[in-house]
Structures are given as structure tokens and as C-alpha cells.
Amino acid sequence: MANLYVALLLAGLHTFAYCHRVPAHHERENEHHISAKHDHNAPYLKLVPGNVDFAFKFYRAAAEGAGRNNIFFSPLSISTAFSMLSLGAKSDTLRQLLSGLGFNQTDITEHEIHEGFHHLLRKLNSPDAEHELNIGNALFIDEKLKPLKKFLDETKHFYMSDVSHVNLEVDRLAYWRNPFNYEATREGDFFVDKHTAVRVPMMNRDGFFSSYRDTDLSCQVVQLPYKGSASALFILPDPGKMKQVEDALNKDVLFKWLHSLRRR
């Protein structure tokens, strides 16, 4: 089940922009999603449908070959990296990159895509936000390559990306600068599948959270808010219903969940 939890937690970065568009009568109950000052014409809003579709398609592709292994990925990091790469692409390569990311160029132009990512990254990294979320891009180029200045200027402007020339033939591994702190956790049973359980460290907290019971898909949806407007969405399928939930995942189902959340 962890496959789905982690995928949706990280996919939440894509959906937070859309969540601000929930109708006004939901604003009091979903205050972590909505801002009264939100600009409904913000460029990044046009990215949301394609980004959400890409996140779920990527998850399904990864899940097919994962077997009993867990899946951990960030849709935002992947789509940002490939969108940045598209600045240096042309013709069929450019069309394939943007299409693969879920963008239909009859609905959104290439410039709108880059402008949308620019505004989204600035909003997520805003020092005025009540939550702390740091997202950074870096472009690592083989020291033998000499990219065009226009490409470097645009990656800096749209994606705030620093450029480093490196020797890509070096294969040494990196280590964490700051180890994870596992305080406030206790061990519990994590069910890899219906036949296998392993003991893992788990964080715990009691409280009231926005949730929704989807009787059609046999799952429970729980929203865990961060300070400010960001939040994480967790989906708990009923026993034996994991495949049913996976097959139904799409942006319409996700938006239905977000509109149906109630604090309990």
C-alpha cells in the first residue's frame, strides 16, 4: 500500500494550485487549500491538468514493474527537469517531450508552460508563505559540452537553475549531509502485501483531519495540512482494493476527493 501513499503525497505538489479553485462554499472547511487573494488567472494554473495526468501515468508505469517494491518519486521534480530540458529541444524531440509531460500544445503554448513553471516555483519557494518548502533546480552539464547562451539564460530565468560543469565519468556515491531524525516515532507493522508484514519506524499523531470516505472506490482519503496553504493527501484502500483504486486514479477522481473533504 505504501506505493500509493507516497505517490499521492508527492503528487500533491501538482494539485495544490488547483485546490485554490474550489468553490467559495468549501473555503471555510478547506482553508489550507484556498486563499481569498488567489489570482485565478495565474500562469501555473494551466499546468495543473497535464501535470496531474502525468503524475498518475508515471505512477502506473512504475507500479507495473515494481512487484512488491515500494515506489518513491516526485512528479514535480520530474516534470520540471524535462520541461527545462525542452528549452534546448526542437521539432519532434520538443513535441515528444511536451506530449510525454501531458501538455497539449493546442491548449497551452510552449512559452506558457515555461512561464507557468516559473510562477509555480516562485510561489512554492515564496519567503512570505507560512509553510517552509524549498525547491531547487540545478543543471549538471558534461564539462566537454558548450551549451548555447540562450539556453542557459532561459533555464536561469524560468527555472532559477544554477549550471555546473562536471565530469560525468566519476561514479562516487554521495552521502546525506544531515541524517534523518527518527525521534517521535515507534515501530509498527507495515503490510507490503496481504501475506507480508515488516516492522518499520512510524510517526504517530492524534487529532482532527479533513477526510472523505469514497464508497465507490472502497478507500479512505485523509488530508494532512502543513502550516500555510500546502498539504499532503493520503489514500488508504480497503483490504484487497488496492488494484481497484490504482486503476481508477485520474485527475477527476482526485478533484472529487478534494471537493469532498470534511474535517472530522
Angstrom distance (rounded) from CA 210 to CA 78: 29
Range from 67-76, 94-103, 159-168, 229-238 carrying the lowest mean pLDDT: 159-168
pLDDT by residue (tens digit) across 183-238?
667 788 887 777 778 888 877 666 778 899 999 999 999 987 766 666 778 888 99
Per-residue model confidence (pLDDT) at position 14: 40
Residue 159 half-sphere exposure, CB side, CA atoms within 13 Å? 27
Dihedral sign for Cα atoms in the order 166, 167, 169, 175: negative
Q: What CATH superfamily classification does 2-166 receive?
A: Antithrombin, subunit I, domain 2 (3.30.497.10)
Residue 45: name the closest of 116, 121, 104, 122 by CA: 116
Q: Does domain 189-263 have CATH number 3.90.950.10?
A: no
The three cell numbers locating residue 91: 521539432
% of residues, the chain, pLDDT over 90: 6
* pLDDT higher than threshold 90 for residue 65: no
Does the pLDDT value for residue 35 go beyond 50? no
Of the two residues 224 and 16, the one the predictor is more confident about is 224
Cβ contact 71:3 at 8 Å: yes
* Residue extents of the structural domains in the chain: 2-166, 189-263
pLDDT at 61: 86
Q: Which of 25-29, 73-77, 228-232 has the highest mean pLDDT?
A: 73-77
- CA distance to 10, 50, 135, 184, 257, per residue, from 22 (Å): 20, 18, 25, 35, 11
Confidence at residue 249, expressed as pLDDT on a 0 to 100 scale: 85
Distance CA 101, CA 71 (A): 19
Give the chain's largest Cα–Cα span. Answer: 58
**Confidence check: pLDDT of 76 > 70:** yes
Q: Are 158 and 117 in contact (CB under 8 A)?
A: yes
pLDDT, greater one: 53 or 19: 53
CATH topology of 2-166 equal to that of 189-263? no
| pLDDT, mean of residues 16-29 | 41
Mean pLDDT of 86-107: 88
Hey, which of 171-175, 209-213, 224-228, 251-255 has the most confident mean pLDDT? 209-213
> What pLDDT, on a 0 to 100 scale, did the predictor assign at position 27?
43
pLDDT single digits (tens) 119-155? 888 887 776 666 666 677 777 777 777 888 898 889 8
Q: Residue 33: is its pLDDT beyond 60?
A: no
pLDDT confidence of residue 198: 84
Q: Report how far residue 164's alpha carbon sits from residue 185's, in angstroms, rounded to the nearest whole number.
A: 38
User: What are the C-alpha distances in Å from 7 to residues 3, 18, 49, 88, 183?
Assistant: 6, 18, 17, 29, 24
Query: Average pLDDT in the 38-52 region?
Result: 76
Convert the pLDDT of each residue in 230-241 to its tens digit: 677 888 899 888
Q: What is the mean pLDDT of the chain?
A: 74
